[in-house]
Amino acid sequence: MKIGFIGLGIMGKPMCRNLMKAGYDLTVFNRSQAAVEELAAEGAGKARSAADLASRCDVVVTMLPDSPDVKAVVLGGSGVLEGAKPGTLVIDMSSIAPAASREVAMACKAKGVRMLDAPVSGGEPKAVDGTLTIMAGGDKADFDAVKEAILLKMGGSAVYCGEIGAGNTTKLANQIIVAANIAACAEAFTLAKKAGVAPELVLDAIRGGLAGSAVMEAKVPMMIGGNYDPGFRINLHIKDLTNAVNTAHAFGSPLQVAPIVMEMLQWLNVNGCGALDHSAINKFYEHLSGDKLGET
């Protein structure tokens, strides 16, 4: 089975490496040629365009920033559908609007191309070690065919969530929970610091209780250390929460917490922090409190 991979950013590049470690014949394409050359030096094939890649592959994986990018790469000129053969499977692992997933899938179906939407959670560290959480929508038979063979070469878990778009709906729920958790951690640890209790000791004390979470374990040490190297950028989390708000509006689902956190992230983005890790929401609280978690 030949696999093509489009989108070699923070997440895509290590995902490609895990597919190559699994022994797959991988062909890659990316707007930035430097990432293509890097993976080519490690054994990946190079495509001239998305259409060229699709013409050579049985499965095409896309890992792109947002809905317009996926539409352009799959539906646009020199896109995947220009080169894909009937029966080709597109696995879009981007985090995009569920409505966009359904639109792209309908266009694929008209050309005899199958599609799964299979966004991921876990950020760069889990992309590197191949333990991403994958949530998928589409035809169950297509999911079953690639779960063990492909998806679990990049992830630690892969769960079928329903028809096309269900994967990205699940991802939106995930992103609301993650955003709220990060904001709650920043708020709580700022309170502890302002009250004269060392944040490191608070972390040690509560991590084993009900407040403990994967988010707290991953993000609070970054806040304390002032390390905001991006595993998942603020501007991308804004994109996800925007998609969550738009989807909630479409279905009449009430949102209260997500818009509040999105406004914090928007303020940070406007103030030059958009490319930082989303743990930098702590900087919003630093601005308001005049205190930093890592300072003694």
Helix (H, G, I), strand (E, B) or coil at 196: coil
Contacts of 32 (CB under 8 A, 6+ apart): 8
DSSP annotation of 226: T
Taking a C-beta distance cutoff of 8 angstroms, is the pair 95, 118 a contact? no
Instruction: Give CA–CA dist 189/282, Å, rounded.
Output: 9
The catalytically annotated residue of 153, 171, 193, 283 is 171
Closest CA to 262 of 170, 182, 169: 182
- The counts of H helices and E strands in the chain are 14, 9
- For the beta carbon of residue 118, count every other beta carbon within 10 angstroms: 33
Instruction: Give CA–CA dist 226/214, Å, rounded.
Output: 19
2 is annotated as an active-site residue: no
* Tokens 């103030």 belong to residue: 271
Catalytically annotated residues: 171
